[in-house]
């Protein structure tokens, strides 16, 4: 186990290391975006270099594409791949039914497209991402820049009739300017506190003019791997309805990824 990492980073490392075991040579793999997914890309890069793993990666952001190339993974587009064997990504929240909130890194649109074009989706996370009810993490929605304030007002008005506790929203910023997604869109973060009916909310949001996509991933994730700082992992499998506990024995000298920052 890398000794100079924080407990959270160790947990991310563990979950990524375990998820990498599902990847086999010849696969086309969706590569997620965010700090936990970055550990996964690093792990797969090591397998490519050290074990001869042969995969084609479809990144969900320009950041992930750059990292994948840096570590030696062959990168192709989703159009080239057409369909994927597996997507591995992080999440900002997940509940007992493995429904997710994603988009904290701003790549929710590409992440959802890639995940739904895959035979299965695995989420890697630390234990802090598990919740009883989604909504504590702000729900991102991607909106086109034209008339975004009108879209924001429409969204907030619609939230009055939804089963949520909060109804405020904020334009995501990058310093003094609005954050832009890879598609050149804005993101509104909805501060809902609790989402009573995530499926209904996802459908309603996507019917609004100006909304491109929302960060609710409903019935998309097949398996969640939770890592712990002491080497333990929990594998939650929605299809089999079971939770398996394992322990990964990692050498103290296994410190290949200590240069990776959030």
Reading the block at residue 16, the tokens are 């990524």
Does residue 70 lie within any of the structural domains?
Answer: yes
pLDDT > 90? residue 252: no
Banded model confidence at residue 251, pLDDT cuts 50, 70, 90: low
For residue range 9-25, list pLDDT tens digits in order.
Answer: 999 999 999 999 999 99
111 noted as active-site residue: yes
Residues 112 and 234 in one domain: yes
Question: Would you state the pLDDT for residue 4?
Answer: 78
Banded model confidence at residue 94, pLDDT cuts 50, 70, 90: very high
Residues 15 and 95 in one domain: yes
Does residue 183 lie within any of the structural domains?
Answer: yes
For residue 110, the enclosing domain spans: 7-130+219-247
Banded model confidence at residue 106, pLDDT cuts 50, 70, 90: very high
CA distance 140 to 181: 12
Global model pTM greater than 0.85: yes
Residues 69 and 12 in one domain: yes
CA distance 24 to 10: 24
Residues 66 and 39 in one domain: yes
CA distance 247 to 239: 22
What CATH number is given to the structural domain containing 46? 3.40.50.1360
Question: Would you state the pLDDT for residue 166?
Answer: 97
Residues 114 and 232 in one domain: yes
The active-site residue out of 46, 93, 111, 234 is 111
DSSP SS3 for 257: coil
Question: Would you state the pLDDT for residue 253?
Answer: 41
CA distance 153 to 159: 10
CA distance 2 to 258: 7
Residues 148 and 239 in one domain: no
- Count of domains for the chain: 2
Residues 24 and 96 in one domain: yes
């Amino acid at each position: 186990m890398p000794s100079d990492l924080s407990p959270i980073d160790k947990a991310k490392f563990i979950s990524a290391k375990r998820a990498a075991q599902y990847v086999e040579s010849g696969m086309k793999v969706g590569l997620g975006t965010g700090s936990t997914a970055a550990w996964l890309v690093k792990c797969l890069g090591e397998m490519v270099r050290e074990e001869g793993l042969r995969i084609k990666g479809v990144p969900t952001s320009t950041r992930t594409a750059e990292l994948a190339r840096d570590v030696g993974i062959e990168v192709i587009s989703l159009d080239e791949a057409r369909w994927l064997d597996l997507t591995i990504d992080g999440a900002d929240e997940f509940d007992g039914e493995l429904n997710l909130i994603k988009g904290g890194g701003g790549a929710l649109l590409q992440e959802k497209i890639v995940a739904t074009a895959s035979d299965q989706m695995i989420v890697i996370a630390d234990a802090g991402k598990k919740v009883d009810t989604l909504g504590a993490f702000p729900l991102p929605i991607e909106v086109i820049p034209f008339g975004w304030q009108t879209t924001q007002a429409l969204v907030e008005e619609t939230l009055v009739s939804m089963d949520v506790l909060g109804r405020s929203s904020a334009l995501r910023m990058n310093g003094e300017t609005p954050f832009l997604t890879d598609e050149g869109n804005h993101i509104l973060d909805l501060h809902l506190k609790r989402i009573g009916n995530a499926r209904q909310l996802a459908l309603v949001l996507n019917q609004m003019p100006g909304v491109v996509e929302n960060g609710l991933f409903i019935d998309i994730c097949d398996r969640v791997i939770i890592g712990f700082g002491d080497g333990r992992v929990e594998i939650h499998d929605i299809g089999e309805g079971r939770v398996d506990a394992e322990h990964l024995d990692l050498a103290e000298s296994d410190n290949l990824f200590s240069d990776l920052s959030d």
